[in-house]
Chains A and B, each alone.
Chain A
Amino acid sequence: MATAEEVAKAAERREVRDRWLLSAPALLVILLAATGPLLIVVVYSFLAPGPYGDVKWQFSSDAWTSVFLERDIFDDTLSLAAAHVTIFLRSIKLAAVTTLATLALGFPTAYFMATRSEKTRDLWLFLITIPFWTNLLIRTFAVLQIIRNEGIINTILLKLGIVSAPVQILYTDTAILIGMAYVYLPLMVLPIYASMEKLDFRLVEAGYDLYATRFKVLWKIIFPLVKPGVIAGSILVFIPALGAYVTPSILGGGKNMMLSNLIELQFGQGRNWPLGSALSITVMIIVMVALLAYVRNAGKSGVRHG
Chain B
Amino acid sequence: MASNFSIKHQPGFTAIAATCFVVLYLPIIVLVIYAFNAATSTSEWGGFSLKWFQSAYQNTQVIDATLRSFQIGAIAAVLSTIFATMAALATTRTASYPGLTFKYAAINQPLMVPEIVTAVALLIFFSRIKIFTGYSGLGYLIAAHTAFCIPFAYLPIRARLENMDLTLERAAADLYATPWKTFRRITLPLLWPGILAGLMLAFVISLDDVVITEFVKSGGQDTLPTYMLGQIRRGITPEINAISTAFLLLSVAIVTLFFFVSRKRD
Q: What is A's interface to B at a CB cutoff of 8 Å?
A: 15-16, 18-23, 25-27, 29-38, 40-41, 44, 54, 105-106, 108-109, 111-113, 115, 122, 126-131, 133-139, 141-146, 150-152, 182, 185-186, 189, 201, 204-205, 208, 214, 218, 239-240, 242-243, 245-246, 249-250, 259-260, 263-264, 267, 273, 276-277, 280-281, 283-284, 287, 291
Contacts and interface: CB of A to CB of B under 8 A. Distances in A.
Interface in B80-103: 80, 82-84, 86-87, 89-91, 94, 97-99, 103
Question: Which of the listed residues A54, A134, A138, A151 has the most CB atoms from chain B within 10 Å of its own CB?
Answer: A138
- The secondary-structure label for the interface of chain B is helix
B28 A142 contact: yes
A41 B27 contact: no
A139 B28 contact: yes
B124 A291 contact: no
Given A133-B251, A240-B115, A249-B233, A138 B31 contact: yes
Nearest to B205: A133
Interface stretch (B48-56, B105-113, B165-173): B105-113
B204 interface: yes
B207 interface: yes
B251 A25 contact: no
A26 B7 contact: no
Contacts of A34: 109-110, 113, 118, 121-122, 144, 147-148
B147 A32 contact: yes
A255 B244 CA distance: 26
Contact of B121 (A108, A129, A280): A280
- The secondary-structure label for the interface of chain A is helix
A115 B20 contact: no
Contacts of B248: 134-135, 138
A114 to B, nearest CB: 9
A189 B116 CA distance: 24
B120 interface: yes
